[in-house]
Amino acid sequence: MRRSIILTGIIIAALVLAGCAPGRNDLEKTADADGRTAGFLLGLWHGFISPVTFVISIFSRNVRFYEVHNTGTWYNFGFVLGAGLFLSGGILGRKKKKI
């Protein structure tokens, strides 16, 4: 009985995590209406402002959390780096206590 409950829990957790996996971005490496694609620096900026952008995107259809017209790997790297600087290693990061 206990074994089947654990197995069921593992299957449900695997399905939930698989449902969170992102899909393909068919607009990657294609220009937007103005002929531009977002690169590393815009990815860095978008990652840095992502907490604010996320809240605004909930209430506005004109604001997106992530630029789909991007250069691919470099934009993604900048986005993750910018989000990491804001959320854990930079502004909101923990400060070491002075002894």
Q: Is it the case that residue 88 has pLDDT exceeding 80?
A: no
**Residue for token pair 């991007």:** 70
What residues have CB less than 8 Å from 49, skipping those under 6 apart?
Answer: 82, 86
73-93 mean pLDDT:
78
pLDDT tens column, 66-78: 888 898 889 989 9
d(CA 4, CA 41): 50
Q: How far apart are CA 7 and CA 81, in angstroms?
A: 37
Share of the chain above pLDDT 70, in %: 84
Instruction: Map out the domains of the chain as residue ranges.
Output: 30-99
Pairs from 18-22 (Cβ < 8 Å, separation ≥ 24): none
Average pLDDT over residues 76-87: 86
In the structure encoding, which two tokens stand for residue 87, read together? Answer: 């959320």
